Amino acid sequence: MATQQSRSAARLMMAPAVVLLLGWMLIPLTMTLWFSFRRYLPLRGGDLGWTGFDNYVRFFTSSAFWPSVQTTLILVGGVLVITVVLGILLALLLDQPMWGQGAVRVLVIAPFFVMPTVSALVWKNMFMDPVNGLFSHLWRAVGAEPVAFLSDVPLGSLIVIISWQWLPFATLILLTAVQSLDNEQMEAAEMDGASVLSRFRHLVLPHLSRAITIVILIQTIFLLSIFAEIFVTTGGAFDTRTLTYLIYQRVLESQNVGLGSAGGVYAIILANIVAIFLMRIVGKNLDR
Amino acid sequence: MGQITLENVTKSFGDTDVIPPLNLTIEDGEFCVFVGPSGCGKSTLLRLIAGLEDLTSGTIRIDDQDASQVPPAKRGLAMVFQSYALYPHMSVRKNIAFPMRMANIPQDEQNRRIEAAAKALNLTDYLDRRPGQLSGGQRQRVAIGRAIVREPAAFLFDEPLSNLDAALRVGMRLEISELHERLKTTMIYVTHDQVEAMTMADKIVVLRAGHIEQVGSPLELYRQPNNRFVAGFIGSPKMNFVTGAEAEKLGADSIGVRPEHIDIADDGPWRGTVGIAEHLGSDTFLHVHDTGLADTLTVRAKGEVGLRHGDPVTLAPQESQVHRFDAAGARLG
Ligand SMILES: Nc1ncnc2c1ncn2[C@@H]1O[C@H](COP(=O)(O)OP(=O)(O)OP(=O)(O)O)[C@@H](O)[C@H]1O
Ligand SMILES: [Mg+2]
């Protein structure tokens, strides 16, 4: 958008979307801020007036706060690492000409169409169940003691479940990027004596960096607010209580809307810290 | 050293045979141009030599070593692609250094070669730019620079100038010819532009549908084309072909005369009317109609010729310069 005219035309045309999005964002945000400064206990007297920063102090100093932040970061980080690494490998694999390519691609993308609640329940009951799960049968078949995944390695299991759901998204975006790689460049590198690994490192990876950035940013936004998977598997037990889940517990289980809202504001702050941090490391790829 | 020999080389993609058995020797230090119409297999042949395509059968020897199974990087050849194929996220310096980095050449030697190549190709001021910030001609030079620093046994060029505008093309043509004079390295150059072939080559290989139609120096091909295809392909504007009675008089199925070998003469045997006259300044090309010989005869005349559209004209072919062809298109005599 080079000229003054095209710039103002662009602004005009974007205005409706911007106004709608701002309204969409600002109204809930304002309500959350409002409630976070009030003592609001729906089943124990309702709205009991202003309390200043009381809710914030209580949420912050509660023994559950820091562990929940830590859990959130581990969960998001773990899923990001797994989906990006496997996504790149899968994208490279799917880019190879092979028999039944179309069918394989549809299959790889399929998990994305399964609702989070359903997929988490399937994993919990059909794969990870210590008595009847497929894994326990597998373990017994090789003579090992079945593992109670969701209570012994709860966070790891959750990361696996969520990665399984998000892998198709990462693969899809990365696949389109892999396909746009210029073939002559690869051939030039081959003639220049670059091995498969150095071609990956010097050509494929830089070419994918922008797509990786997009995958990381979009996934982070959604992963920070993961809820259903935790709700139907561990219910927040065994150190799987993320910040989002903690807020849910404060509002619905403890019936303390004010405290939960304060938590919500902390979640916003955390999301922004993570976003700024990510933009710093990977965001420069977007400028090119 | 860089002698390249192809022995009974064939290539098929599935059921389509792109290259039928083909034999060719390119001598060390030669500037060899593959020329032919689009789709005739020039790129395929070049990629076979480079090792980017597998041979269906036959042998490729580089300096008398069988290279048929040698991977591309080990053949000691450098290729310049039509799209330049520069690495977009690396600076010009890194692009040029890449093949040396892959070959683990010491850093100071790398720098020395980069400086030398940059100086030779006028790239010194652009070394820290990215390819995206360069013009087409500069990108082309970077691609050549990346090939030079490898000090290859032979350079392979696949239509390197086809993305450039006409003026730049002439300039780069000279630069590549000069580079060849200086390095004396074997160069194989693919083009479908016969002017590039004529001006640059030591040896031209004319291809049609994977077949070699003729191999020879530019002047040999110009003077003694083996067949109608080569005769029509080499030379600009195209050779005029005449069939019928006029050809039979000379005992041929068809005869060919180049535009520059037809004179405007009052007592000439051929008459016609001038159609379009293309004035190039130094020369004028007349398109002559209604001769009863061919649709149009192209005739080269002097720059200041006074003929206009619709004027009658009599023409005389230079008898020693008439090429005769038989029914199959092969040269007679
Ligand atoms: N990978 C491939 N699979 C099948 N056919 C191919 C393949 N590559 C090339 N061909 C065919 O081989 C023939 C020669 O192709 P090639 O690219 O060598 O032509 P070319 O002489 O370089 O033409 P141009 O001047 O247009 O570049 C063409 O008919 C083309 O369709
Ligand atoms: Mg080609």
Task: Tell me how close the Cα of B161 comes to any Cα of chain A, in angstroms.
Answer: 16
Neighbours of B101 (CB within 10 A): 16
The CATH number of B4-230, from 3.40.50.300, 3.40.50.150, 1.10.10.10, 3.20.20.80, is: 3.40.50.300
- How many angstroms from the chain centroid is the CA of residue A185? 34
Residue B21 to residue A272: CA distance in whole angstroms = 67
Mean pLDDT value across residues A256-277:
84
Q: How far, CA to CA in Å, does B135 sit from each of B124, B130, B131, B175?
A: 15, 11, 8, 16
Domain boundaries along the sequence of chain A:
50-287
Q: Which two tokens stand for residue A214?
A: 């997009």
**pLDDT band for position B162 (50/70/90)?**
confident
The listed CATH number (3.30.413.10, 3.40.50.460, 1.10.3720.10, 3.30.2140.20) that belongs to domain A50-287: 1.10.3720.10
- Contact assessment for residue A186 and residue A203, using Cβ atoms and an 8 Å cutoff: yes
Q: Which residues pair with A188 in a beta bridge?
A: none
What value of ipTM does the predicted structure carry? 0.80
pTM (predicted TM-score): 0.79
Q: What percent of chain B has pLDDT over 70?
A: 100
Residue B85: pLDDT over 80: yes
The type of residue at A83 is T
> CATH fold of B239-325, please?
OB fold (Dihydrolipoamide Acetyltransferase, E2P) (2.40.50)
B25-73 confidence digits (pLDDT tens) = 999 999 999 999 888 999 999 999 999 999 999 999 998 888 888 888 8
Pocket probe for ligand 1: among B11, B13, B190, B211, the residue whose CB has the most ligand atoms within 8 Å is B13
- Residues with a CB atom less than 6 Å from ligand 1: B 13, 16, 18, 36, 38-44, 192
Q: What is the pLDDT of residues B244-256, one digit of tens each?
A: 888 888 888 899 9
User: What residues does CATH 3.40.50.300 cover in chain B?
Assistant: 4-230
A185 closest CB neighbour out of B72, B85, B103: B85
Better-predicted residue by pLDDT, A65 or A162: A162
A18 or A238: which carries more pLDDT confidence? A18
pLDDT for res A287: 52
Q: How far is CA A128 from CA A123, A135, A153, B102, in A?
A: 6, 6, 11, 47
For residue A79, report the distance from its CA to the centre of ligand 2, in Å: 45
- What would the mean pLDDT of B208-237 be, rounded to a whole number? 91
Structure tokens at A228: 């259903």
Read off the pLDDT of each residue in B173-195 and give the average, rounded to a whole number.
Answer: 90
- Mean pLDDT, residues B109-137 taken together: 88
The answer to whether B213 and B227 have CB atoms below 8 angstroms apart is: yes
Contact yes or no for A166/A83 (Cβ under 8 A)? yes
DSSP three-state, residue B68: coil
Q: Of B322, B317, B326, B296, whose CA–CA distance to B227 is shortest?
A: B326
% of chain A at pLDDT higher than 70 = 97
Q: What is the pLDDT of residue A49?
A: 77
Give tens-digit pLDDT for A72-125: 889 999 999 999 999 999 898 888 888 888 888 888 888 888 888 888 888 888
Does the pLDDT of residue A285 top 70, yes or no? no
pLDDT of residue B218: 93
The pLDDT mean for chain B works out to 89
Residues of chain B with CATH 2.40.50.140: 239-325
Per-residue confidence band for B225, with pLDDT thresholds at 50, 70 and 90: very high
Rounded Cα gap, residues B81 and A132, in angstroms: 60
C-alpha dihedral over A24, A30, A32, A33, to 10 degrees? 150
Structure tokens at B297: 């005869």
Mutate to test the interface with B, among A192, A203, A213, A286 (most CBs of B within 10 A): A192
Which residues, in sequence order, are bridge partners of residue B325?
B254, B331
**Residue B102 vs residue A151, higher pLDDT:** B102
The values of phi and psi at residue A42, to 5°, are: -50, -40
Q: What is the average per-residue pLDDT within B103-122?
A: 88
Pick from A182, A195, A202: which is nearest to B85 by CB? A182
pLDDT in tens, B265-294: 888 888 889 998 888 888 999 999 888 888
Tell me the pLDDT of chain A averaged across its residues. Answer: 84
Percent of chain B with pLDDT over 90: 38
